[in-house]
Amino acid sequence: MAKLATSVSMAAVKKNNNRWKKLKDSKYLLIMIAPAILYFIIFHYLPMYGVTIAFKDYKPFKGYFASSWVGLKHFRTLFKYPYVWRMVRNTFLLSFYSLIWGFPAPIIFALILNEVKNERGKRFVQTVTYLPHFISTVVIVSMVTMFLSPSTGILNTFIKSLGLNKVNFMGSPKYWRTIYISSGIWSGVGWGSILYLAALTNIDPTLYESAIMDGANTFQKIIHINIPCIAPTIITMLILRTGQLMSVGFEKVYLLQGAVNLEVSEVIQTYVYTNGLRNLQYSYGTAIGLLNSIVNISFLFAANYISRSVNETSLW
């Protein structure tokens, strides 16, 4: 009995020694990773903890700890905001339409580019179409605004030369979503195709050989070989995108936003900015942001769950 106890404690000591040894061994590794970990704690985990101000009445001059708890007050305020559903609807529609139009575009592009047998031509097209991905949002929005300008924009010059009436694209909420989505496709279609192209080049060539023997044409090959083979990639990307259905990039919406298009362009993220940061209602803004994140995460889990039960492809 006593012997057993000693052997157990011996094992514990040994294990402890091992851990101690490992700790000493990785002394320099720990020094190396420390700055990065510190960064994540300060700029990611502190803000995550800071989300609790959504349940407080945060006053900058009082500081975090002295500000009082108010429970769900800010959430109730939000649902009294007359435009709350307009804002939710705008966020959802903008990213839903972006998904509908923007998601298939790189896939189609990759499928067609994959058919190009001339390597130099293919590389040229790739080089050119990847470029807009590296252009800043400010520049893209600037270009869009200038090209669509009712007085001097090239598009209106063109429309006029056809003998039609000029259109004030940016001055009307009617065109706003289309502008947002099509400029997004313009800048993202090439870059978005990289993953699909890589998946396409990994397809087993013997599949094509047997397809040709069976007399399949190009379209049949694309439909029966290419698309099924890249389906896992497509589904993974679709899950990730679904997880973002209630979030749109703040930067581009904010830059494209104006008083004339607010009825379609006010989304949750821009509302958080204007009310939370600009009007200094920190707690209120945080509460909306928190609600939004919860919705996003549940979308992601739902999409992952559905995909796993339907066709066994999932993120985790």
Partner 1 sequence: MSKKRVSFWTVLKVAFLVFMVIITIYPFIYMISVSLSGKLSVMRGEVYLFPKDFSLEAYKFVFRDKRIYTAYKNTIIYVVLGTFTSMLLTTLGAYALSKKNRLFGYKFFNILIVITMFFGGGMIPKFLVVNALGLIDKIWAIILPSSVGAWNLFVMRSFFLNYPEEIEQSGSIDGLNDLGILFYLVLPTSTAILATMSLFHAVGYWNSFMEPYLYLRSESKWPLQVILRSIVLQGTSLDTEYAGGQSEVYEDSLKFATIIVSVVPIVCVYPFLQKYFVKGVMIGSIKG
Which of the residues 124 through 183 are near partner 1 (CB under 8 A)? Answer: 124-125, 127-132, 134-139, 141-143, 145-147, 152, 154, 157
CA atoms within 13 A on the CB side of 119: 1
Rounded to the nearest whole angstrom, what is the least distance from the CB of residue 193 to partner 1 in the complex?
10
Q: Count the Cβ atoms, other than its own, within 10 Å of residue 271.
A: 23
- The residues in 4-43 that bind partner 1, with binding defined as CB under 8 A, are 19, 22-23, 25-26, 28-33, 35-37, 39-40, 42-43
Give which of 64, 59, 258, 48 is closest to 144, Cα–Cα.
258
Rounded to the nearest whole angstrom, what is the least distance from the CB of residue 110 to partner 1 in the complex?
12
Phi, psi (rounded to 5 degrees) for 56: -120, 175
Rounded to the nearest whole angstrom, what is the least distance from the CB of residue 190 to partner 1 in the complex?
7
Those residues with Cβ within 8 angstroms of residue 248's Cβ, 6 or more apart along the chain or in another chain:
91, 94, 95, 98, 267, 269
Tell which one of 70, 78, 116, 216 touches partner 1 (CB under 8 A): 116
What DSSP state is assigned to residue 67? S
- 33 or 100, CB closer to partner 1? 33
Rounded to the nearest whole angstrom, what is the least distance from the CB of residue 263 to partner 1 in the complex?
20
- The residues in 200-219 that bind partner 1, with binding defined as CB under 8 A, are 217-219
Q: What SS3 class is residue 69?
A: strand
- The residues in 233-252 that bind partner 1, with binding defined as CB under 8 A, are 250-251
Which tokens sit at 266? 């006010």
Rounded to the nearest whole angstrom, what is the least distance from the CB of residue 4 to partner 1 in the complex?
30
Contact between 209 and 174 (Cβ < 8 Å): no
- Cβ-defined contacts of 47-50 (< 8 Å, 24+): 50/286
User: Is 51 a residue that touches partner 1 (CB under 8 A)?
Assistant: yes
Rounded to the nearest whole angstrom, what is the least distance from the CB of residue 50 to partner 1 in the complex?
3
Question: Binders of partner 1: how many residues, by CB under 8 A?
Answer: 85
User: Is 259 a residue that touches partner 1 (CB under 8 A)?
Assistant: no
